[in-house]
Amino acid sequence: MGNPSNILPKDLLTFAAAGRLIGRSRQLISHAVSRGHLTCVEVGPYKFVHTAEVLAYKKNPPPSGWKKGEPRKYEETPEKIYS
């Protein structure tokens, strides 16, 4: 995002605030950071993400890797249910 000395506090969001901004959870933001889709700025014990990156992530999220297929078929027999 540029030179670290040019980062303004107003350009940073906590994971929870970033999640609220795009209507998702803070866990999704954390996973995006760990996967390298978003960059994280650490200030002491606190972690922040850039607002511009979060908004860009909302417009073009990476593929989730979830492949739709046939649902699992469960065979429920009375022996399995009541044992």
Over its length of 83 residues, how does the chain's per-residue pLDDT go in tens digits? 555 667 888 899 999 999 999 999 999 999 999 999 999 999 999 999 999 999 999 888 776 665 666 666 666 665 655 55
Q: Is residue 81 part of a domain?
A: no
CA distances from 27 to 4, 19, 38, 60 (A): 25, 8, 13, 18
pLDDT at 82: 58
Say if CB 40 and CB 49 are below 8 A apart.
yes
Q: Is residue 47 part of a domain?
A: yes
- For residue 36, the 8-state DSSP code is T
Q: Report d(CA 14, CA 2) in Å as an integer.
A: 19
Q: Report d(CA 16, CA 70) in Å as an integer.
A: 35
- For the chain, what is the domain count? 1
Q: What is the domain range of residue 28?
A: 9-62
Q: Is residue 19 part of a domain?
A: yes
